[in-house]
Amino acid sequence: AQTVTQSQPEMSVQEAETVTLSCTYDTSESDYYLFWYKQPPSRQMILVIRQEAYKQQNATENRFSVNFQKAAKSFSLKISDSQLGDAAMYFCAGGSQGNLIFGKGTKLSVKP
């Protein structure tokens, strides 16, 4: 069975600062993919970043980057230069062969 755990129900960051959201996963699959999704109050689910498990290099998308620690089964998301528009629920998800398991989410607040 696959599990995805987000241990931080809520996080807060000052505008322009950096914040890291934690995620751990457990899977018996050798080939899998990990994702971070953002859900603002509009409730859209927006893909933030993607990491293939076979790649050692951490994925980066502009101000968003991941710290993928395969041995520790950790997949954290770092948001640099936080902006007010980054305030949202963030979901970590992982899976293989198309199916994804989602964590419970972390609510991120950004203080001006």
Partner 1 sequence: DARVTQTPRHKVTEMGQEVTMRCQPILGHNTVFWYRQTMMQGLELLAYFRNRAPLDDSGMPKDRFSAEMPDATLATLKIQPSEPRDSAVYFCASGRTSGGSNQPQHFGDGTRLSIL
Q: Is 43 in the site for partner 1 (CB under 8 A)?
A: yes
Q: Considering only CA atoms, which of 6, 27, 16 is closest in space to residue 99?
A: 27
Q: Is 5 in the site for partner 1 (CB under 8 A)?
A: no
Query: Residues 23, 66, 73, 105: which binds partner 1 (CB under 8 A)?
Result: 105
Q: Is 41 in the site for partner 1 (CB under 8 A)?
A: no
Query: Residues 25, 35, 75, 90: which binds partner 1 (CB under 8 A)?
Result: 35
Q: Which long-range contacts (CB under 8 A, 24 or more apart) does 95-98 make?
A: 95/2, 95/32, 95/33, 96/27, 96/29, 96/31, 96/32, 96/33
**DSSP-based helix, strand, coil % in the chain, nearest 5:** 5, 55, 45
Q: Is 75 in the site for partner 1 (CB under 8 A)?
A: no
Query: Residues 7, 18, 26, 45: which binds partner 1 (CB under 8 A)?
Result: 45
Q: How many residues bind partner 1 (CB under 8 A)?
A: 24
Q: Is 50 in the site for partner 1 (CB under 8 A)?
A: yes
- Which residues neighbour 8 within 8 Å (Cβ) at sequence distance 6 or greater? 21, 22, 106
Which residues contact partner 1 (rule: CB under 8 A)?
A: 31-33, 35, 37, 42-47, 50, 91, 95-105
